[in-house]
Amino acid sequence: MKKLSHYDDRGRAKMVDVSAKADTRRTAMAHAFVAIKPAVLKKLPKNPKGDPLEVARIAGIAAAKRTSELIPMCHPLMLSHVDVDLKLKPRGVRITSSVTTTGPTGVEMEALTAAAVAALTVYDMTKALDKGIEIQDVYLLSKTGGKSGEYKRK
């Protein structure tokens, strides 16, 4: 049975030592969905705070770069690339983030953080219109690189 890597033999949380790992190219993609009523979606272009999708895109990129400040056992990483894509759908906003680095550990948490913070920003930018907006389906789509190899959500 696999052991959780963020705990020592006494059950205390720890940061994993990645100093012996080789630098390899690593990527990750994550997803989030913000469920918004169609009537509220129609009002997005007229938002007095600015374009919610563009503000959310920038927030997601900034969040990926600060993941290690938010998630205690994440390593600070030099990210090579971050992209956050937001698409209007009939029932809300679909968010996809992608992150790339060359380093000793993966960027799954950075991709998930980017998608989640972009979703939170859409909520923040639209909450005046409807407090019932829901953030849904935050999950990892795929990852490459590292010892565990490739993962693709089925």
Catalytic position from the list 83, 85, 124, 130: 124
> How is 85-149 classified by DSSP, letter by letter?
EEEEETTEEEEEEEEEEEESS--HHHHHHHHHHHHHHHHHHHTTT-TT-EEEEEEEEEEE-STT-
Amino acid of residue 128? A
Residue 130 is a catalytic residue: no
- Integer distance in angstroms from the first to the last C-alpha of the chain? 23
115/109 Cα distance (integer angstroms): 10
Cα dihedral 121→125→128→134 (10° resolution): -40
81/4 Cα distance (integer angstroms): 28
- Give catalytic residue positions: 124
